[in-house]
Amino acid sequence: MSSPRLRLRLSLLLLLPITISCVAVALSDDLPAFREAPAFRNGIECSKTTWSPSDREHNPSLIHIAMTLDAIYLRGSVAGVFSVLQHASCPENVVFHFIATHRRSADLRRIISSTFPYLTYQIYHFDPNLVRSKISSSIRRALDQPLNYARIYLADLLPVAVRRVIYFDSDLVVVDDVAKLWGIDLRRHVVGAPEYCHANFTNYFTSRFWSSQGYKSALKGRKPCYFNTGVMVIDLGKWRERRVTVKLETWMRIQKRHRIYELGSLPPFLLVFAGDVEPVEHRWNQHGLGGDNLEGLCRNLHPGPVSLLHWSGKGKPWLRLDSRRPCPLDSLWAPYDLFRYSPLISDS
């Protein structure tokens, strides 16, 4: 007969694999699971083409889209990708460039590959330390996250052969062919985006900014208009030539010392580009559907046609839907949600 001590050791060994398995599940449980998206294929009118990060030549048949990936907004990013593919005339010619931190990049890669097995994409590692010392607190914590500033570094992160990119936030869905947005003529401009010149531009900066002749002079000779940086068409070649990243970082350092604005990564873009943006139709950014940055109240659509719905602001559609307190327009986001809900009662 075995001794009680030996039986105890055997019991512990039998339990060990189960314990390790449970720990592994717990480590990945904070990331959502998604259903596999259907495969979207090119029509006969599309030229068949491929892309590799090592390509050295610009391929005019490809559409490049950049987005960030993180655990908090992953559900929104997946819905955004799904919406682009569903409405694209040549979905196999769309290349996604995802920006993520090192912390969860392996898990995020696994999720993207399993959700979109046919997607052409690349994940780039963004170092939060690039901006951590330059960020000053704003009116909402989400605006202070380093990944929110990754759009400033797209020209450094993406391959040189990628000369043009569309940047999309992770809280939007596209309901039109993205090739129409891609095809706009930027002319001499670095950035194209919908402008809103009726907005009160002075509200985006503090009294310290407006009382300084040196700061105000940055806007001299321009007619600055507000634009939302969640939807931008960017000429990366011109961005690199004009050293735009350095200019944006300069304003961030000034902000850190003198507090000239309150709203995250937007004001530096306004200071560098406002009044020098290629106007894009408003249909390509029906923004503000998440309400303001404090309460996130429900909003209505702006008048006019719609090609893109953007839940900028505090309220996010997946959170409001899950809480069973959705706004009416959140139902327009729901069809693109690939989130896999866990059954209340296990089949086993």
pLDDT by residue (tens digit) across 238-255? 999 999 999 999 999 999
pTM: 0.88
Q: Per residue in 216-239, pLDDT tens?
A: 899 888 889 999 999 999 999 999
Question: Does 257 fall in a domain?
Answer: yes
Closest CA to 182 of 233, 111, 238, 237: 233
Would you say residue 39 lies in a domain? no
Specify if 13 maps to a domain: no
Share of the chain above pLDDT 70, in %: 87
Is residue 273 a contact partner of residue 191, using CB atoms and an 8 Å limit?
A: yes
Return the CATH number at 173: 3.90.550.10
Task: Note whether residue 308 is domain-resident.
Answer: no
Could you give phi then psi for residue 320, rounded to 5 degrees?
-70, -35
Residue 185 makes CB contacts below 8 A (sequence gap 6+) with 278
Where do the DSSP E strands lie in the chain? 63-68, 94-100, 120-125, 164-168, 172-174, 191-193, 195-196, 226-227, 231-235, 278-279, 308-310
Indicate the DSSP class of residue 286. B
Provide the number of structural domains found in the chain: 1
Q: Which two tokens stand for residue 257?
A: 């010392």
Range of the domain at 68: 63-286
The 10s digit of each residue's pLDDT in 83-118 is 999 999 999 999 999 999 987 889 999 999 999 999
